[in-house]
Amino acid sequence: MAHSHILLGAGVSPAHPSIRRIGFADLKDALAKGVDDFMAMPTHAMFLCMIYPIIGLVLARLAFGYSILPLLYPLVSGFVLVGPLAALGLYELSRRREAGLPGAAAHAFDVLRSSSIGAIVALGLLLLLIVGVWLAIANAIYVADFGYAPPASFASFIHEVLTTPAGWNLIVVGNAVGFCFAVVVLTIGVVSFPLLLDRDVGAAVALLTSIRAVAENPLVMAAWDLIVAVLLALGSLPFFLGLTVVLPVLGHATWHLYRKVVEPKSSPRPDFRKERPRRSAADFPANLFPWTH
């Protein structure tokens, strides 16, 4: 029964969220609302996303050991592939602001108390599996073009990639395969994670709903994928610092895109994130053992 709940949700029968047709103007509006959310809570959003440029710089530093230098680009793009999962806190902040609830940084972690947390973890593991497959394929493409020997230096690596037929083949084939992985992640993640925050529908229902949303709006979703790719590329400069703005804006905007694509329920789901009551210091240490109350 626990597995059924994770896959199909808490209802008696699987949910079937209704999908709307949207236009390019809806993408513009979702981005505008994402910017508005960021401007309303910039400290919170930047606090949550500061880890991205830090990890980017760490990856760059590791690559200067040269042995994993060929995987630097796949590592960075693979990290972006788990963006729908990493943006959960941003979805939660947008949800709270939309509902007129407080939006302090700590509320971003309320997702851990969601009744859908099992389904969220299941889909998160699926994304991590996809990233692992991408890294393995990216490494195989590099080995097929350059062999197993690591680059002699950063300069020689760049020279070989940009000026040799093997390097051009690596760029073309690698980006083509990476694009396919990005399309897969967009298809399964653009709606699924916001939906699980909004409703307890289960991982399978959320995944299928996201696929249906993309199938119903293929051109608009392709445009959204392009917007995300361009903004992430711009945000990577300089030294990934631009991601402290780009990532929260995209995270907030994705929540509003979800609101446009998926028809809302006739009756809103009761808020599962109850505010924790304040406790007096006089109750210590009894408050460490709530079951005795």
Q: Which residues contact 275 (CB under 8 A, 6 or more apart)?
A: none
Q: Which domain holds residue 169?
A: 20-265
pLDDT tier, 63 (very low <50, low <70, confident <90, very high otherwise): low
Which residues are registered as beta bridge partners of 262?
19
Task: Tell me whether residue 273 is in a domain.
Answer: no
pLDDT tier, 290 (very low <50, low <70, confident <90, very high otherwise): very low
Which pLDDT score is estimated for 173? 94
The domain tally of the chain equals 1
For residue range 235-249, list pLDDT tens digits in order: 877 767 788 888 889
Task: Tell me whether residue 279 is in a domain.
Answer: no
For residue range 110-167, list pLDDT tens digits in order: 888 888 888 899 999 999 999 999 999 999 999 999 888 888 777 888 888 999 999 9
pLDDT tier, 187 (very low <50, low <70, confident <90, very high otherwise): very high
Task: Tell me whether residue 233 is in a domain.
Answer: yes
What amino acid occupies position 186?
Answer: L
Task: Tell me whether residue 62 is in a domain.
Answer: yes
Q: Tell me, what DSSP letter sits at residue 22? A: -
Which pLDDT score is estimated for 171? 92
Distance CA 242, CA 103 (A): 23
Task: Tell me whether residue 275 is in a domain.
Answer: no
Contact 68, 284 (CB under 8 A): no
As a whole number, the mean pLDDT across the chain is 81
Taking 90 as the threshold, does the pLDDT of residue 65 lie above it? no
- Tell me which residue has tokens 């995987």: 71
Which pLDDT score is estimated for 274? 45
Task: Tell me whether residue 97 is in a domain.
Answer: yes
Task: Tell me whether residue 44 is in a domain.
Answer: yes
State which of 10-14, 32-36, 88-92, 157-161 shows the largest mean pLDDT: 32-36
Task: Tell me whether residue 69 is in a domain.
Answer: yes
- Tell me which residue has tokens 């993640």: 189
Average of pLDDT values for 183-205? Answer: 91
What amino acid occupies position 190?
Answer: V
Cβ neighbours around 7 below 10 Å, total:
18
pLDDT tier, 46 (very low <50, low <70, confident <90, very high otherwise): low
Q: Rg of the chain over CA atoms, in angstroms? A: 21
Of 161 and 75, the one with more pLDDT:
161
Which pLDDT score is estimated for 229? 86
